[in-house]
Amino acid sequence: MKIKLYSLIALIAGVASFASCINKEESAEAVYARDVAAIEDYIQNSSLTNVKEYNDPTYGIRIIWQEVSGSGIPVELGDTLRVDYTGKLLSNKVFDSSIESVARDNNIYSSGREYIPLRFRIGLGALIFGFEYGVAQMEQGDKATIFIPSGSGYGRNPNGEIPANSPLIFEMDLIEVVAGPTE
């Protein structure tokens, strides 16, 4: 029941997020089509291990699992998650990571940052829609790569090293799911 509520919240957030990616030259539909094609091209030309796959037809979010834990501990609305992640552009340029060695290897290391798994409560909208939506499809212990069209990411708004209308890739390791409130 919780996950159905999350789907409704996700739909509302996704529509708002998707609508925000419109710029003066391209319609939201054109950006979405371009993003989905670019993601497909990336996947077809990668050597990504694929043990399970999910493709959301509404948002174009693709999830490819590298490891399925079989833990039986799903993500539900209100749960608190701990996730190690690396965020990249389709060019493979890493823009963020919770893993110190990855940050150092990609010249994005910051001595003022603590490199630990991201801890957040799912469904509060504190993170971009595609990140929360993708991790919500996983179970504790799963490792997956999530491909996010720009409308479910930062849309037309550049963010740091992320240009406007950029599809994103997040390599995720869902370390822990702590049950949230049951109401």
Of 32, 42, 59, 154, which is the active-site residue? Answer: 154
12 assigned to active site: no
Of 32, 133, 147, 170, which is the active-site residue? Answer: 170
Of 22, 54, 56, 95, which is the active-site residue? Answer: 95
> How far is residue 76's CA from residue 122's CA, in Å, rounded to a whole number?
8
Burial class (CB in 10 A: 0-12, 13-18, 19+), 167: buried
Amino acid at 33: A
Distances 35 to 1, 49, 142, 169 between C-alpha atoms, Å: 31, 22, 25, 12
Of 79, 96, 142, 173, which is the active-site residue? Answer: 96
154 assigned to active site: yes
Burial class (CB in 10 A: 0-12, 13-18, 19+), 127: middle
> How far is residue 168's CA from residue 183's CA, in Å, rounded to a whole number?
33
96 assigned to active site: yes
Of 39, 63, 108, 128, which is the active-site residue? Answer: 128
> How far is residue 145's CA from residue 135's CA, in Å, rounded to a whole number?
10
> How far is residue 93's CA from residue 49's CA, in Å, rounded to a whole number?
19
128 assigned to active site: yes
**Residues tagged active-site:** 85, 95-96, 128, 154, 170
